[in-house]
Amino acid sequence: MEPSRDDQLIADLQALRPTPRPQFAAELDERAAAGFPRRSRLPRLSLDRLRAVQPRRLLLPAGTAAVAAIAIAAVLVIGSLGGSSSSSTSQQHGSTLGDLQYFDGSGHYAKPAPEARSLTSGASAAKGATNGKAEIEPFSQNLMFSRNLNSSFTPRHRDVERSAEVVLAAQPEDVAGDATRVFEAVHANNGIVMRSSTQEGAAGEAGASFELLIPSHKLGDAMAAFSEIDAVRSRREATADITAPTVSAAVLLKESRARIDSLLAQLEGAETEEEREAIEAELRHERRHASRLAAQLTHLHRRADFSRVALRIETGSSESSGGGAWGIDDALHDAGHVLTVAAAVMLVALAALGPIALIALIAWLTHRAWVRRERRRVVG
Amino acid sequence: MEQTLVADASDAPREADLAFDRLYRSSRDDLFAYVAGLLRDTTAAEEVTAAAFERAYRKRNRFDPRRGEPRAWLFGIARNAALDELRHRGRQAELTAEPADPESLDTHAGAERSDRRLTVSAALERLQPGERELIALKFFAGLANAEIAQVLGTSESNAGTKLHRAMTKLREACDGTV
């Protein structure tokens, strides 16, 4: 085809060019002047708006949101860890002795009196329950006791076993003097030194350790005295409620003794040698049983009467930051802990979101590929 | 086209709006012509044209001048919108303009010219859809070969070759019709 025909064809094509209606053109101009306001209020509003923002402008808010999310998650996790730790502490390691409280089973909390113990026998148990210095009212609804005890025995106080651990930081040359002061503090509080060892030497090698029994009602005074000997590196106190086994043993002992009295009465009335021997055999058995129960009860009472205290005097740097003034090491340690928790949270979040994101990505890519294929198909 | 949709950060919103306004004014009729040629439905073409400008306006800050001309970018958006419209309709693309109005042609160009244009219109119908789209982009929208290549996602030489083949077939179809 010669050029003139080409030009004619092009002119014909351009003449066939569709043109917009003036009314549509005017409306579109108005919309353009107004910044193309949306005509439909259907979804995708926020998505389109988000897409319209430059990616670099999204960095700051997105980064801030991510950091905030991590911080909130870390706080929540730390809070939950702290909460569970505190909970277990109150059960096993206890709170400070002065703040110790007990749930009485009826919605009330009450402080126990350490000295207000004790059930030396079934009879004295009842008496002690009546005359205890620290009574917890009401106590009859305690489910634990309602399961284990008969209704005639209603305890009115708790037996608590206490233990403590103290680590003192000392200079190597002070170890011997500190050890002496520990002995003095123990004796001043009527305590017992179960085991002790003192090691002299350089920092890190020198030290001392003690296993002590301190009367429970003097534990607070003793701990205060120990804390004054030298710098406290760490201090832990724990409590364990042994009321249930104590009361149970007391009740069983009471029943056993009643049984012995009954057998003695039967023995007096025995008429035949055979009957007497049978009763005596049963009596011996019951006395052994009562003896075991009495020993068990005594042991429980001793656990409640005396608190075990593990005291160590250490020299050299502390591996942990449990005591003393809060410093840079503690800050680094805490920061490391927080970062570890945050990393753990991120890991869990990624583990949960990763597969979902992957599926979403695959679905999006598949959909996009399908749309492109369909568009190609449309134009042949 | 030497337009740009980007500007210094200090006055980015205002400059981007002005740049888009320039793009809109220079492309409005061309875009409509291309979309109408693609859809062969004036009402749908108006909807798609408006939607394409709206989408482009929302995305104007994401336009990257390194990836092509603004006009090609705009036509790419319009092309996707038009093809989506065709997909949703379930129709095959028909890339010619709406049938010319013989009375209008008679009025403005005379009977001979009217016949010739009806012949061209009929010849366009016999082309492959892809070939007709090329002609629509070139002669309805007035895009340069480089811009057509960007819209179709191919190279400029490839777009030029395809366009040449399409024109050859159109001429042959016109001759066959005549």
pLDDT digits (tens, 9 = 90+) for A331-366: 898 899 999 999 999 999 988 898 899 999 999 999
Looking at the partner chain, which of A5, A6, A380 has a beta carbon nearest the beta carbon of B130? A380
A252: pLDDT confidence band, cut at 50, 70 and 90? Answer: very high
d(CA A38, CA A45): 9
Distances (CA, A) of B90 to A377, B33, B87, B94: 11, 22, 5, 12
Q: Which two tokens stand for residue B64?
A: 């990257």
Cβ atoms of B61 and A54 within 8 Å: the answer is yes
Residue of A16, A52, A371 lying closest to B58 (CB–CB): A52
Tokens describing residue B156: 């400029």
Whether residues B62 and A51 touch (CB distance < 8 A) is answered with yes
C-alpha A46/C-alpha A52 separation (Å) is: 10
Mutation target to probe the A interface, by most A beta carbons within 10 A, among B98, B106, B140 is: B140
C-alpha pair distances (Å), A323 with each of A82, A174, A329, B50: 18, 19, 12, 71
**Taking the model in full, what pTM does it have?**
0.45
Taking CB atoms and an 8 Å limit, are A378 and B83 in contact across chains? yes
ipTM value greater than 0.85:
no
* A371 close to B (CB below 8 A): yes
Nearest to A380 among B46, B61, B93 (CB): B93
Scanning every residue of chain A, which has its alpha carbon at the shortest distance from the alpha carbon of B95? A379
> What is the spatial distance between Cα B76 and Cα B149, in angstroms, rounded to a whole number?
10
Give the pLDDT band of residue A83 (cuts 50, 70, 90): very low
pLDDT score at A329:
83
Residues of chain B contacting residue A374, judged by C-beta atoms under 8 Å apart: 83, 87
* Mean pLDDT for the stretch of residues B72-97: 75
Report chain A's C-alpha Rg in angstroms.
40
Residue type, A221: D
Which position has the token pair 């019709």? B177
Residues A199 and A284: their CA atoms lie apart, in Å, by: 51
Give the residue carrying structure tokens 């909970």.
A87
* B130: pLDDT strictly greater than 90: no
Tell me if chain B has a CB within 8 Å of the CB of A32.
yes
Contacts of B87 in chain A (CB under 8 A): 371, 374-375, 378
Number of helices (H), then strands (E), belonging to chain A: the values are 11, 7
